[in-house]
Structure 1
Amino acid sequence: MNKLVKYIAIAVSALSIGSIVMISSDNSVNVIASNKTLHSQYRNRYHREGNKLYYFDSNGNAITGLRYYGNNKLEYYGSDHVQYRNRYYRDGNKLYYFGSNGDAVTGLRYYGNNRLEYYGSNHVQYRNRYYRDGNKLYYFGGNGDAVTGLRHYGNNKLEYYGANHVQYRNRYYRDGNNLYYFGGNGDAVVGLRHYGNNKLEYYGSDHVQYRNRYYQDGNVQYYFGSNGDAVNKKEPNKPVVASSKVLGVKYISQEAAGAPMGCEAASTLEALHYKGKATNYDLKHFIKTMPVAKNGNPYQGFGGTPFRVTYGIYQSIFPSALTPWVQRFSSAKNISGTNEQGIINSVKDGKPVVSWITLNYRTAVWDKYNWGYGVDNAHVVTVDGYNKNSFHIVDPENGVYWISKASFMRSYNYMKFAVSVG
């Protein structure tokens, strides 16, 4: 060590920690400031100066921008290095809000005059999307606020959110003289609605309930009174009994899927699609989920394969095995043995009926198998409507049509197999 360095070292060693020194040209050491504060550089730690909070990184630099830390926590430091608190920050099309502790908010946030917004687990504000909290559904609009009131969307669809921002389901909403009803999926009802003890009401294409006016449905005319219920014109105090209904189940072709023996699966998928279930399946992929009975017993599963005709095997599946299969996708009930009115009641409740009949409604051809007797010319269709004299059929082999109730029931009564879906 040279003489100068030694001198400085000796001189400085006598100073208090934190002293600021100036070395003169004659190598003398002069103390110009001294205190007891430790002036070591901050690294990986916070520093508060009044109401401003800073964070210094591993290089000792005060950070700017987003900083993730802990268990999915996030904070933000502006260009002045000060932490954001109780304010927004936008990063491109992402919006964050940092609360009073400096952390980015997640979950629901109430603010202002009954306003509500939501931030996902990534701390980004929801916009133009839904959020479900248990059995409560919210929708956040283009400005990030939860919607209240009526919301039109899609192809003439309508939903309603109350003052608490929660979507209405299975309940009415009155807007002046207009009455709406929102169903189990949250959409405002259009068309005829059966409810209560054989009561009936009607909602127009604008979703508003009819009152004191007529509605014509094909050959059937209804009159809706001052309370919105359909009434009998001859007996004004007696509710009218709806004599027709068609659910509108969409046709699925078993032949187009290469499944000449796939009427059970096709009819089932038709009904499921109507209920909004299994919509990610086409017929070919849906059949792959069907239970198969290796012993060929249709009470236990499908015998053989639906994709080709195999002689000597009874290629079908009966309600005892089909119902649990359907229940993997939707609620369903084995209503085998039911009568004409039972089928009508199911459709009236919005539940299509998968029904076992004979192909082209011809006389049954019976044969004996190791599991019992079966109808060799059996066929399966979906019943989705009725009127005074007919059933409306969605047939995976022959398309969509009306068939007289007499013809249908004569064919159905051979086996009396049926499954109500929904």
Structure 2
Amino acid sequence: MVELLNAPNIDQYAWGAINGCEAASLLEGLHCLGKLTNVNYGEFLKQMPIDEGGNPNYGFGGSPYKNQAGKFEAIFVKPLADWAANYTTYEDLSDSGVEPIYQSVEAGNPVVTYVTVHFEKPEIETYPFGDVAINNHAVLVDGVNATQVHLSDPIDGKYYLDKSKFEKIYLSRNMALALLK
């Protein structure tokens, strides 16, 4: 069993952010690496790149504090990585499957992964920028063993999840960002 990286957990709802799990997961990972430890989630959200057009491929689409018609309240890997680059080095593990995630965590690097809320089946809708899971969610993988991953989830807290369940939902999205030491 790999020792847990012991990332802290940020409860996004406690900050009034019904959206913004990607920022919470990123900050959990940065704190895990000993970076930005003097910055809280509310302050971090103020730094998040926003795309006024609501396209998560260019920045956060909308507001972390409310849902807005025509906006997709999320930020995808490329703009998240560009933002993370201000604080740490990273490796985009998107479209690489699950093994690079496990290898990264085993090397001491937490990984922001895109999944769905409560690991439920993706609910797909079409937006001008493409088909996306409207139950989009991001969590931080900070531990792995033979049968489970350990997550720091901005909605559900810290817990272990069977690899089979994690992999099924993760592979439906296949988007991840490793934060390097």
TM-score (norm: length of structure 1): 0.42
Question: Is 1:315 equivalent to 2:76 in the alignment?
Answer: no
Q: Aligned-pair distance for 1:342?
A: 0.8
Question: Is 1:304 equivalent to 2:62 in the alignment?
Answer: yes
How many positions carry a matched residue from both structures?
A: 180
Question: Is 1:264 equivalent to 2:33 in the alignment?
Answer: no
Equivalent position of 2:7 in the other structure = 249
Counterparts of residues 130-149 of structure 1 (less than 5 Å): none
User: Which structure shows the higher helix fraction?
Assistant: 2
Distance (Å, rounded) in 1 between the aligned partners of 2:131 and 2:77? 15
Larger Rg: 1
Unaligned runs of 5+ in 2: none
Distance (Å, rounded) in 1 between the aligned partners of 2:23 and 2:16? 12
Distance (Å, rounded) in 2 between the aligned partners of 1:248 and 1:280? 18
Question: Is 1:361 equivalent to 2:124 in the alignment?
Answer: no
Question: Is 1:291 equivalent to 2:49 in the alignment?
Answer: yes
Counterparts of residues 111-260 of structure 1 (less than 5 Å): 243-260=1-18
User: Which structure shows the higher strand fraction?
Assistant: 1
Counterparts of residues 60-139 of structure 1 (less than 5 Å): none
Letter in 2 for 1:315: E
TM-score (norm: length of structure 2): 0.96
Provide Cα deviations, 1:233-272, integer angstroms capped at 9, x if missing partner.
xxxxxxxxxx433111011110111111011110000000
Aligned with 2:50: secondary structure? coil
Counterparts of residues 266-285 of structure 1 (less than 5 Å): 266-285=24-43
Distance (Å, rounded) in 1 between the aligned partners of 2:117 and 2:3? 24
Equivalent position of 2:144 in the other structure = 386
Aligned with 1:344: secondary structure? helix
Task: Tell me, yes or no, if the aligned pair for 2:54 and 2:70 is still in contact at 8 Å.
Answer: no
Identity %: 36
Unaligned runs of 5+ in 1: 1-242
Distance (Å, rounded) in 1 between the aligned partners of 2:157 and 2:68? 24
Q: Aligned-pair distance for 1:414?
A: 1.3
Distance (Å, rounded) in 2 between the aligned partners of 1:246 and 1:264? 21
Distance (Å, rounded) in 1 between the aligned partners of 2:162 and 2:94? 20
Question: Is 1:415 equivalent to 2:173 in the alignment?
Answer: yes
Letter in 2 for 1:257: W
Aligned Cα root-mean-square deviation (Å):
1.0
Structure with the greater relative contact order (CA < 8 A, sep ≥ 6): 1 or 2?
2
Distance (Å, rounded) in 1 between the aligned partners of 2:23 and 2:69? 20
